[in-house]
Amino acid sequence: MGYDVDEIDFKEKSDDALTPILHFVNELNRELHPRHVDLSLGELRTFADFPGNIRRRFMVREETGDLVALSEMRYPDDGSNPEVLRCDIRVSAEHRRQGVGTMLLGHIAGIATELGRRTLLSWHFDTVPAGAAFARAVGAEEKLRFHDNVLRIEDLDVELMRSWAGAGPERAPGYSVEVIDGRWPEDLLEGIAHLYYVLERDMPMSEGHEPREWTAELMERMQNHYLQSTDALTAIAVEEDTGEPVGMSQLIRRHSDPTTWIVTTTMVDPDHRGKAIGKWVKGAANLAALENWKGGVYQETGNALTNEAMLSINRAMGFEHEKTTTEVDIEVGDALAYVTSKTGAIGRGASE
């Protein structure tokens, strides 16, 4: 059976044209995540165009016109990490092991060559074993593992959260914490951008990764974007003498799924660690959510297995492991060699 690869721009598609793609994405997501609540069209458009990256997407259809696979590639819009191209390949269960993933890999590797990118960086999940099998087959190397953890909100220890928030002023004199509902104040955007830079700089990353440029303008674009489809509560710790943010913890919930709270980030500047500021902002954010967001059932967070400090905090809160994400990479030349060995074709359009 023949397949065709076409590039697709979600922003330019009408609702009618995008609806079959939405159904396909939700089908894939339900396999990936056992508690997945389907995205709406608005959410698909919003989440697919998050600021900070240049993104391109491709879809594969069989001769009948049915959609069988989607892929995305992206790279920072500030020129950082010029040798790396992030990508994913998602094939419907009934069309796996038929050369579709190989075809997309060849297509993406061909574009990576044109862009001068040397390495493809991707990931797979233990809830979809076919992803790991494909990564092994092509010769991708495992780089990092992350645990995606979940907590039933009814099991959240409220007294523990109160103790963490209440002890903050004593354990960290000279600091204060404020919970922001919705938009971050303009005068804090530059400081929050610095925290994101520190977070990326200190996160476990593949060898050679460099943090992007984080700016107040990018922070403004980010919040303008995600607040279209989510609510957000952010506990921000500020050093009182300077007025600069030194730590934060943010919870969001999708408008279409108020039952699930998602931890987007919890971070403390290394220069201000050792004062339990992480616990302070974590406790403050959770207490605010309990007061202001009704109907919550689950809270989700993710941690690199090497981040023992945050894993310890989340274990104390009662989070339990739900699934594992594994980051892998492969040199573009090796990817093209694999595609050629399977198809005899190189780069774009390679197919079994």
User: pLDDT of 26-57, one tens digit each?
Assistant: 999 999 987 888 999 888 888 788 889 999 99
List 226's β-bridge partners, or say none: none
Residue 305's domain spans which residues? 157-317
Residue 59 to residues 6, 81, 108, Cα–Cα distance (Å): 5, 26, 12
Examine the domain organization and report whether 190 and 209 are in the same domain: yes
Residue range 165-178, pLDDT digits in tens: 999 999 999 999 99
Examine the domain organization and report whether 312 and 330 are in the same domain: no
* Res. 350: pLDDT tops 80: no
Examine the domain organization and report whether 137 and 78 are in the same domain: yes
Examine the domain organization and report whether 173 and 267 are in the same domain: yes
- Assess if residue 22 is contained within a domain: yes
Number of compact structural domains in the chain: 2
- The answer to whether 57 and 71 are in contact (CB under 8 A) is yes
Examine the domain organization and report whether 167 and 284 are in the same domain: yes
- Assess if residue 208 is contained within a domain: yes
Examine the domain organization and report whether 54 and 141 are in the same domain: yes
- Assess if residue 350 is contained within a domain: no
Examine the domain organization and report whether 59 and 165 are in the same domain: no
From the number of C-beta atoms within 10 Å of its C-beta (0-12, 13-18, 19+), residue 15 rates as: exposed
CA atoms within 13 A on the CB side of 113: 15
Residue range 252-308, pLDDT digits in tens: 999 999 999 999 999 999 999 999 999 999 999 999 999 999 999 999 998 877 777
Q: What is the pTM of this model?
A: 0.89
Examine the domain organization and report whether 308 and 333 are in the same domain: no
- What pLDDT is attached to residue 1? 59
Examine the domain organization and report whether 67 and 21 are in the same domain: yes
Examine the domain organization and report whether 162 and 307 are in the same domain: yes
Mean pLDDT over all residues of the chain?
A: 91
Strands 175-181 and 3-8: unpaired
List 5's β-bridge partners, or say none: 60
Q: Where residue 269 sits, what CATH number does that domain have? A: 3.40.630.30
Which amino acid, 62?
Answer: E
pLDDT category, 205, cuts 50, 70, 90? low
Q: What percent of the chain has pLDDT over 90?
A: 76
- Torsion angle defined by CA atoms of residues 6, 7, 13 and 16, in that order, rounded to the nearest 10 degrees: 30
- Assess if residue 291 is contained within a domain: yes
